[in-house]
Amino acid sequence: MMEDRIMKRAAATLISVIAESVNGVQFPSSIEEDRRITETAKCLLFGQSTPITGRENLQSIFNILNGNNGNKHYLPHSIEPNRSINYPTDEVAVCDYELLAKRLNDCLSKFELTDNGLNSVLEQMEEELTYIPGTMDDPDISLFDQAKLCAAIASCLPESVEDNIDNMVSDELFLLYSMDFSGIQDFIYTIASKGALKTLRAKSFYLEILMENIIDELLTELGLSRINLIYSGGGHCYLILPNTEGIIEIAENYNRQVNDWLLETFDISLYVGHGFAPCSGNSLRNVPEGSYVEIFRTVSRMISDRKANRYSAEQLIRINNRSKEDYSRECKVCHRIDKLNSENECTICSAIKNFSNNILNQSFFSIVRQDNRGLPLPGGMSIVADDAIGINSAVRVYRKRHVEDKSHHSIGLWVADYASQRTTLEEMASDAKDIGRIERIGVLRADVDNLGTAFGSGFKEVSGGNIMRTAALSRQLSLLFKCHINKILGDKNRNATICYSGGDDLFIVGEWYSVIELALDISNCFEQYTENTLTLSAGIGIYDSKYPISRIAYETAEMEDLSKHLDGKNAITFFEDNTYHWSEFEGEVLGDKFDVIAEYFDNSDSRGMSFLYKLFELIRNQNDRINFARYVYILSRLEPSRSAPDEVKDNYKSFSNHMYEWIKTEKDRRQLITAIMLYVYLIRNKEDKSNGISE
């Protein structure tokens, strides 16, 4: 339980900053006396007491990222999962502050001075104030981010606050604390082929809840709240904590306990490294220049050191002297030696399989004391999927954020859970066959390029970066990958399922051509969302539905890596080594060569298609004059007769002219090979094997 004095201080600061900017907000009397701390927290965070904003629109954080000189802003919308994405725009709209104050007051009228009450207010404030400006000095930082960070600073201040703020800003009163999971990829993708899609989603969701619960348990141990959580996603998190020996000792002990549990439960496959660095109000504002980046470097170095020296002598002895007892068999899924059930599955793999059906069908996930129905968590707890009303003894309840029912004081999490109605990989592949395409699944793996560099030095041309901009940037990206991506796929009803999306990366499986289409959707939305200040690299693999997921994960990771090694990154790779910048793939491979091929051969008979296969082999092996002569000869064989309609003649002339030109340069030839492969996959189902294009 969060200590009342810290809770009151955090709540008072959060609401005070909001009330100063939104006229008419009624401050709860229960925390009135703690408003005095607000000015101190603001001074430490901003460097001075800043003026309240006018009624301008919130500027986009991407206006000033990575040397951008943009001038776009956001419309003053609340966050609603089914609403259109609030992209940076030139359009102007005025916020109805009177209506906004009414909505905030409706929320605050139900405020309770409890952990759950504070979480509920925090969630509502995020939804209402993410696109409302805070101060004029920082027009790209939302009122929510400013209020939440002020509250985090206030919760870390010592009992007696000195009157001389000038001295306090240089005192290292705070800790930037981080945790980072190792082994996530191997854990997620080590699964059985049967029911692979459900298991993938269950494992990634389980790890997400595991991380969130570890964060919440640590905050509870420290007497703090989720106000102190700056960012979580992708297996890592950042928190702002008080810099005291007691806090450090609690964090060290808790990290040791978690890793003891991970070792006992998952052997050496999962590990949580943690690190922290002292910081002052000045350094959080990057005063002097470079001090803010150095905080992150210190934290990163500590985590790297912990990962390089994971286990204590006591833990190593335990690992090497573990009693086998009747652990004589290996789990058929994860290959861990454990007690197995009748299906040769260990307790964890069996529980994950049982849990997988609930990922789609349930919205509330309760953390309870040890329960054999659920998946295990540290501290003798379990996660169970259940109706929150029926879980009265829950330690805490997590809720998918898009669920409207918020009456159970649950912690709302944005969850990327868009899913096709097809529940197996085989069904997705069969859908392709049913519409005449080759019977395959597609797998998209993508990752934001150079994100660490963007956080560290992406704002150096403006102010060197600071904690507020880091929080604002990370939250905007989390909204895209955890919330808005559901709408990106849902608007066009893509035949695909998100296995994981969060932080800065994603993994999506679906009918193969739908995956190519949605990859372009995501790329275009990402470019618009970030004002082209960040780039995305991806790999797409096309596979038989029975191909092992572990190999798919490995191969698509290699493709993604090829994209990241292309000059400028911002690329997509598929068919193993066909790598293009997104604009080249969309405009020249699909929008140019593929369209010409489709326009001609969609109106051709099967004899014409056999010529396409021959052309493909000659193009792929075009390295001498003889092959070029054959290529020209085959093109001439496709020429229509003199009696053919003019439309047919014109279509052939356009096609052959393009094909002659495209064979001349390596770039066009490579694009042409890719376009032909895509076209053949698109029009050939599994039974049609009469071609020379390998799968």
Residue-wise pLDDT for 406-422, tens only, equals 656 789 999 999 999 99
Q: What is the pTM of this model?
A: 0.93
Of 25, 207, 40, 18, nearest to 98 by C-alpha is: 25
Q: What is the mean predicted confidence (pLDDT) over 379-407? A: 77
The pLDDT score that the predictor gives to residue 47 is 72
Q: Find the range with the poorest average confidence among 241-245, 461-465, 631-635.
A: 461-465
Residues 18 and 126 sit within 8 Å (Cβ to Cβ): no
How many Cβ atoms sit within 10 Å of the Cβ of residue 301? 12
Specify the pLDDT at position 687: 41
Q: pLDDT tens digits for 222-235?
A: 999 999 999 998 89
Q: What pLDDT is recorded for position 675?
A: 95
CATH class, range 425-576: alpha beta
| Averaged pLDDT for residues 168-196 | 90
More confident residue, 75 or 689: 75
pLDDT bin (cut points 50, 70, 90) of residue 571 is: very high
pLDDT classification of 692: cutoffs 50, 70, 90: very low
pLDDT at site 689: 47
Most confident of 38-42, 51-55, 72-76, 408-412: 72-76
Question: Can you give the residue ranges of every domain in the chain?
Answer: 4-55+95-165, 174-413, 425-576, 586-683
Backbone phi, psi, residue 244, to 5°: -135, 155
Q: Are 468 and 145 in contact (CB under 8 A)?
A: yes
In the prediction, which pLDDT does 59 show?
94
Q: How far apart are CA 13 and CA 30, in angstroms?
A: 13
pLDDT band at 102; cut points 50, 70, 90: very high
* Mean pLDDT, residues 354-372 taken together: 81
Measured distance CA(103)–CA(25) in Å, rounded: 9
Q: Considering the chain, what is the average pLDDT of its residues?
A: 87
Nearest to 507 by CA among 553, 551, 469, 547: 553
State mean pLDDT over 35-55: 68
Q: 3-state SS of 490-558?
A: HCCCCCEEEEEEECCEEEEEEEHHHHHHHHHHHHHHHHHHCCCCCCEEEEEEEECCCCCHHHHHHHHHH
Query: Residue 688: is its pLDDT beyond 70?
Result: no
Whether the bond into 288 is cis, omega within 30 of 0: yes
Q: Give the Cβ contact number of residue 357 at 10 Å.
A: 14
Residue 116: the pLDDT is: 84
User: Is the per-residue pLDDT at 49 higher than 60?
Assistant: no
The reported pLDDT for the residue numbered 359 is: 75
Element (H, E) at 443: strand 441-448
Beta 411-413 vs 396-400: how paired, if at all?
parallel
